Amino acid sequence: MLKQIHWKKQLMAALTGGFLLFNTVSAFAAPIELSLEESIAKALQNNPAIKIADTDRQRAEYDIRVAKGGNLPKLRLDHSDGRSKTYGLNGAANIKNQFDSTVTLRADLYTGGEVEGTIEKAKIGLKVADLDVEKSKQQVKLDATKGFFTILQARNTVKVDQESVDQMAAHLKNVEAQYNVGTVAKSDVLRSQVELANNQQILTKAQNAYEIAVSNLNNVMGLPLDTEIQIKDELVHKPYDLSLADSITYAMSNRPEVIQADHNIEIAKQSVKIAKAGKLPTVSASASQRWADDDFPGTDDNGWAVGITATWTPFDSGVTNAHIKKSNSEVEKSLQAAKQTKDAVQLEVHQAYLNMIEAEKRISTSQVTVEQAEEDFKIAQVRYSAGVGTNTDVIDAQVALTQAKNNYIQAMYDFNTSKANLTKAMGVPVETVQ
């Protein structure tokens, strides 16, 4: 009896433990509910593209430190060991050791503007790197936004296609019932069966597109691809307030690529300044202390020296002039590149804006079309049930209704993604709420 009670206790403990484990696994497997803002936040936190850009920015900071080192003194230690053998007049060999140590402190007082130009060039390079980080954030935000709306589109498409399957299944039952009493032909049954099978295939494709859309957003957010997501929002139409001209003006002042193009011009100008330094003299100051002896490590004080050195190369076979001309050509190149960039940004804003407006117009027209298609489908069903309509009329009306609903979903998706493209084209910072 005691063994039986003990066995029952073990069984209950195992069942209880299994139940708790099952609930724990279920909790871990629960889908993640996300809004658009939360999706963007996760992407900004986890996407490696931003981390790569931030690493490049840190490198640009070190470039400034390296450049500033040109204005700082440098301490140099030199040590040499030597052994020599000489012969006297009487032919006797004389072997001598020499141990020499020198400490030199040197500082450049004037470099013709080379160091200053290098420092300024590095500082501008940091600004460019900062903008690269912002560019990466804006691109990740766009990718997350489009991925989010793609899921919404796919989810709504699955819903519409499921409705189509349900409608055709109900219609097939009606056709079969009428066929059984001899009021319709066998061809109506066959045609309805084929149409139902076609709708089921379309639904399967839509479900697969939804799963792919979820995986794509997971990839952007840095989550495992099989993470289950539930989107909180729906496709909505929030009108855009700015005009095309205002959008372009904003982009010209805020788009990172535009600002970078202007910075690149300044970098090229600093390169000219650095190249011209080759025509000017350089001045440096130094102080040294030397120890030399024939015993290691050579500790006898052999004196010290301080001095100022000026160096000028009036002729270097045209090398400096070539550097200057090369740098000037880089300035011209950067000017043309800046113009090309600004033209491209304006075109990008223009296209995104017009695409958004075009999609917005389709939203209103497709809404009306859906209402008309729903009414037409109802009428076709009633007429067929009354024996005054054809099976083809019902199927055509159902296909038209599905197409109208999908057109509305597509218009809503196109509007929201075009608006996101416009935001990216304008260079709106990711922290700014739209």
Total domains in the fold of the chain: 1
270 in Cβ contact with 327 (< 8 Å):
no
Q: 105 pLDDT exceeds 70?
A: yes
What pLDDT is recorded for position 28? 47
CA 171 – CA 324 distance, rounded (Å): 82
Mean pLDDT on 65-81 = 91
**37 lies in some domain:** yes
Pairwise CA distance, residues 357 & 359, whole Å: 5
- Report if residue 352 sits inside a domain: yes
269 belongs to a structural domain: yes
**CATH number for position 209:** 1.20.1600.10
Q: Is residue 54 part of a domain?
A: yes
Looking at residue 140, its pLDDT comes to 97
**Does a structural domain hold residue 299?**
no
Is pLDDT of 18 > 90? no
Residue 296 lies in a domain: no
Residue 307, in any domain of the structure: no
Mean pLDDT along residues 325-354: 97
Query: Quick check: 89 pLDDT over 90?
Result: no
Range(s) of the domain holding residue 157 = 31-75+113-279+318-426
Residues 6+ apart with CB under 8 A from 9: none
Please give the pLDDT value at position 343: 97
Helix (H, G, I), strand (E, B) or coil at 200: helix
Q: Quick one: pLDDT at residue 298?
A: 59
pLDDT in tens, 199-239: 999 999 999 999 999 999 999 999 999 999 899 888 999 99
Q: Which residue has the tokens 């290691």?
A: 296
Question: Which is nearest to 415 in space by CA: 236, 245, 167, 249?
Answer: 236
Residue-wise pLDDT tens digits, 159-201: 999 999 999 999 999 999 999 998 999 999 999 999 999 999 9
| pLDDT level of residue 300 (50, 70, 90 thresholds) | low
Which pLDDT value is given to residue 301?
66
Pair 76, 258: CB distance under 8 Å: no
| Residue range 241-251: mean pLDDT, rounded | 96
Residue 56 lies in a domain: yes
